[in-house]
Chains A and B, each alone.
Chain A
Amino acid sequence: MVSTPHSAALSPEVIKPFLAGGLLLALIGLVFDFQGARQWWSAPGVAATPSCEAIVRSDAQLSREQLAKLLTVPERGSKETIREIVAEPYCRMASLPVRSGVTAEREAYPLAFDPSTQLIILYENDEYAGYRFRFQ
Chain B
Amino acid sequence: MGFLGWVWPLVVGLLVSLGGCRHPEPPPARQIVLEQSWELESGDRVAGLWVTGSLGDVSIALNGGRLRAPFSGRVELAAKGYRCIYFSTPDVPAYLFRFCGVTQPQAGSVQAGQVIGRGRHIHFATLRRQPDGVWAIVEPSDHVLKQSLNQPLP
Q: Could you tell me if B150 and A121 are in contact, using CB atoms closer than 8 angstroms?
A: no
Contact with B along A27-63 (1 / 0, CB 8 A): 1100110010001011111111101000000000000
Using a CB-CB cutoff of 8 Å, which residues 109-124 of chain A contact chain B?
118, 120-122
Known contacts A39-B114, A98-B141: A46-B147 contact under CB 8 Å: yes
Chain B residues with Cβ below 8 Å from A24 are 7, 10-11
A106: shortest Cβ distance to chain B, in Å? Answer: 7
Give the total number of A-B pairs whose CB atoms are below 8 A apart.
115
B151: interface (CB < 8 Å): yes
How far is B106's CA from A48's CA once the two chains are assembled, in angstroms? Answer: 18
A residues neighboring B (CB under 8 Å): 16-17, 20-21, 23-24, 27-28, 31-32, 35, 39, 41-49, 51, 74-76, 93, 96-102, 104, 106, 118, 120-122, 129-135
Can you list 6 A-B contacts (CB < 8 A)? A24-B10, A27-B11, A45-B151, A45-B153, A46-B112, A98-B144
